[in-house]
Amino acid sequence: MLTPVEAARAPGLVLGIESSCDETGVALVHADGTGVPRLEAHALHSQIEMHQAYGGVVPELASRDHIRRVLPLARQVLAEAGRRLDEVDVVAYTRGPGLAGALLVGSGVACALAAALGKPVLGVHHLEGHLLSPFLSADPPEFPFVALLVSGGHTQLMRVDAVGDYRILGETIDDAAGEAFDKSAKLLGLGYPGGPALSRLAEQGDATAFKLPRPLLHSGDLDFSFAGLKTAVLTQARKLGDDLAARQADLAASTQAAIVEVLLKKSMSALRETGLRRLVVAGGVGANRELRRQLNAACAAARVRVHYPELHLCTDNGAMIAMAAAMRLQSGHAVADHRYSFDVRPRWPLDAIDT
Residue selected from 24, 254, 288, 294 as contacting ligand KG4 according to rule CB under 6 A:
288
The dihedral over CA atoms of 148, 151, 154, 157, expressed in degrees to the nearest 10, equals: 0
Q: Does 94 bind ligand KG4 (CB under 6 A)?
A: no
The distance of closest approach from Cβ of residue 127 to ligand KG4 in the complex, given in angstroms and rounded to an integer, is: 8
Residues 283-322 binding Zn ion (CB under 5 A) are 316
Which residues within the stretch 112-131 sit at the binding site for ligand KG4 (CB under 6 A)? 130
| Residue 42 binding result from ligand KG4, Zn ion, none, given CB thresholds of 5 to 8 Å by partner type | none
120 binds, among ligand KG4, Zn ion, none (CB under 5 to 8 A by kind): none
Identify which of 104, 35, 115 has the alpha carbon closest to the alpha carbon of residue 70: 104
| Contacts for 353 with CB less than 8 Å, ≥ 6 apart | 125, 128, 164, 166
Q: Where are the alpha helices (DSSP H) in the chain?
A: 4-8, 48-52, 59-81, 100-117, 126-132, 177-187, 194-202, 227-240, 244-274, 289-301, 318-330
Distances (CA, A) of 133 to 11, 36, 147: 18, 12, 11
DSSP 3-state of 221: coil
Cα separation, 40 vs 295, in Å, equals 30
Q: For residues 32-64, b (16+ Cβ closer than 10 Å) or e, as one string?
A: bbeebbebbbbbbbbbeebbeeeeebbbebbbb
- Rule CB under 6 A: say whether 199 interacts with ligand KG4: yes
- Choose the binding region for ligand KG4 from 45-53, 67-75, 145-153, 239-247 (rule: CB under 6 A): 145-153
The answer to the question of residue 103 lying near ligand KG4 (CB under 6 A) is no
- Cβ atoms of 320 and 286 within 8 Å: the answer is no
Cα(321)–Cα(99) distance, rounded to whole angstroms?
16
- Residue 313: CB minimum distance to ligand KG4, A: 10
Per CB under 6 A, 274 contacts ligand KG4: no
151 is a site residue for Zn ion (CB under 5 A) = yes
Task: State the minimum distance, in angstroms, from the CB of residue 350 to Zn ion.
Answer: 12
Least distance in angstroms from the C-beta of 195 to ligand KG4? 2
Sequential DSSP letters for 118-157: T--EEEEEHHHHHHHGGGGSSS---SSEEEEEE-SS-EEE
Site for ligand KG4 in 47-76 (CB under 6 A): none
| Residue 181 interacting with ligand KG4 (CB under 6 A) | yes
By CB under 6 A, is residue 248 in contact with ligand KG4?
no
Binding-site annotation: residue ranges for Fe cation: 126, 130, 316
- With binding defined as CB under 6 A, does residue 134 bind ligand KG4? no
Binding site residues, as ranges? 126, 130, 149-153, 182, 195, 288, 316
Answer with the entry of Zn ion, ligand KG4, none that 141 interacts with (C-beta below 5 to 8 A by kind).
none
Q: In angstroms, how far is CA 287 from the centroid of its own chain? A: 10
Tell which one of 283, 299, 319, 327 touches ligand KG4 (CB under 6 A). Answer: 283
Q: Which residues of this chain interact with Zn ion, rule CB under 5 A? A: 151, 316
Q: Which residues of this chain interact with ligand KG4, rule CB under 6 A? A: 130, 151-153, 178, 181-182, 193-196, 199, 283-285, 287-288, 315-316
